Structure 1
């Protein structure tokens, strides 16, 4: 595990924390909140894309390719972004992702 990989895991947890702060300020019907959350989800996907597969394999329950694919969709098809999909991602997927990343961080710290 490289320092760069540790930084990417940190980037993901920081983005999740920031999304939580944005949502605490308002809901996704507010354009600023929506855009801020979308950008942080793009950051998460970018960080995931930079992580090595052998690390991600330690958390096989996470659909890593879908996380990366969502980044591409949000970055390239921003006019087609569904509020409902973002809401579901924030409510249901991010807590699971956060737990998986924390386990990966613990795994890295043990090495």
Structure 2
């Protein structure tokens, strides 16, 4: 996966999450499922990149992003809404900022 495709995928998933949460709260099963799928997409995209690029953003816990993908994809009956909500509130915007910085870095090289 090229960096531009990766970055576009992550940006699209974050935008979709924003749209989903405008429609309702995570307590709505459809909203929760839609957000969960987009978080899985983000984790999948992160897993497709080499660590050499991700090292430019060491403050992002990339392994945790990938680990959340695995948890959401394989243990969906064991996913607390509070964990997904905390991810949206605390982690999504910093992740988005890091992805945007990585895309600018690649574009300038």
TM bucket by the smaller chain?
over 0.9
Count of residues in correspondence between the two structures: 109
Task: Give the 5 Å matches for 1:88-99.
Answer: 88-99=86-97
Q: TM-score, normalised by structure 1?
A: 0.96
Structure 1 unmatched runs, 5+:
none
- Report how far residue 55 of structure 1 moved: 0.5
Which one of 18, 21, 29 corresponds to residue 31 of structure 1? 29
Partner Cα separation in structure 2 for residue 35 and residue 99 of structure 1: 24
Partner Cα separation in structure 2 for residue 8 and residue 56 of structure 1: 12
Structure 2 unmatched runs, 5+:
none
Q: CA RMSD in A?
A: 0.8
Q: Which runs of 4+ in 1 moved over 3 A?
A: none
